[in-house]
Amino acid sequence: MTDTLAPVSRRRIPRGLFGALVAFLFLPFPAICLAGPLAGCLVLARPHGFREWGWLFAAVFLGAMAFGSSQSLAQEIFLAYGVAFTGMFLALRIWRPGPVLPRAAVAAIDTAALIAIGAWAFGLEWSSIRSALETQFLDALALVTSESVLSPGQMEQLRETMRTMASVYPGVAILGAIGGGALGSALAWYITDGRAGLQPRPLGQIRFNDHMIWGAIVTLALVMLPLPAPFAEFAANALVVWAGLYMARGAAVVGHMAGRWPLPLRISLALAALLLLPYALGGLLLLGLADTWLDFRRADPPPTQGAFHD
């Protein structure tokens, strides 16, 4: 999400970036995927002053919370994923400085491949990891709904949702790593007054190469085929990543348009989206896909090279 250097001066973190931070923390992403890149970028910028040290302490504290809790097999694996992603992402930033989003995507996907190879080398099967995730999610659901008055049918529907979430959580973690790397870098730039890399563009300008739609189409076709269990779940997780990317593109379109709307209308729409979250996410996905052909932000300069442009 970066492309131009900027002079150093005291900068306020945009409200949209704060909104993205809150959304990240409420979504089921591994927190270490945000805390690690944010802390790493701040350290590389050599923090000084109360604000910078305060943010660094908060990022380290957020990461330490993940280490401090009791770990299941699944938690340990995804914690290892977050740590390895942080190291690879920061290494890419140092080795080849440039736009953040493509480097976060490369680091997230490569780290997932390395973790999968490591799990296979240690004899850990995906079925065991998925079972551990299901147990963790179902235990959390039981804790949250212990005092609820939901019907047995509603409870079973929630349990099935948790089982589905467990089967596609690797894709969710990859999305969290991509978003956490980009968000952490953008926050670090504002916190350090422009010393942490290149200036991030507004969230409303996020876009990527239109030809990537073919990857999403091929993945959707694979999901609809009767593939064996491991390959079917791999395709489903890949589809989750594609869907998340196009939801982000749809959110960027909304953010671009919302800049011209009055504040009460923006607040009302945000509250409505929270109350109707599944429908809001579906709408963002459709909007992001439609932007591939309609280019709702055609007044903006179009991307010229590479897969991601930020």
- The whole-model pTM stands at 0.87
pLDDT band at 6 (very low <50, low <70, confident <90, very high): very low
pLDDT band at 55 (very low <50, low <70, confident <90, very high): very high
Cα–Cα distance for residue pair 139/134, rounded to 1 Å: 8
pLDDT digit string, tens, across residues 201-246: 778 888 888 899 999 999 999 999 988 877 899 999 999 999 999 9
pLDDT digit string, tens, across residues 134-175: 988 888 888 888 777 778 888 888 889 889 999 999 999 999
Cα–Cα distance for residue pair 131/116, rounded to 1 Å: 16
Angle between helices 169-191 and 32-44 (to 10 degrees): 30
Instruction: Enumerate residues 6+ apart whose C-beta is below 8 A from 177.
Output: 30, 33, 81, 82, 85, 89, 104, 107, 108, 111
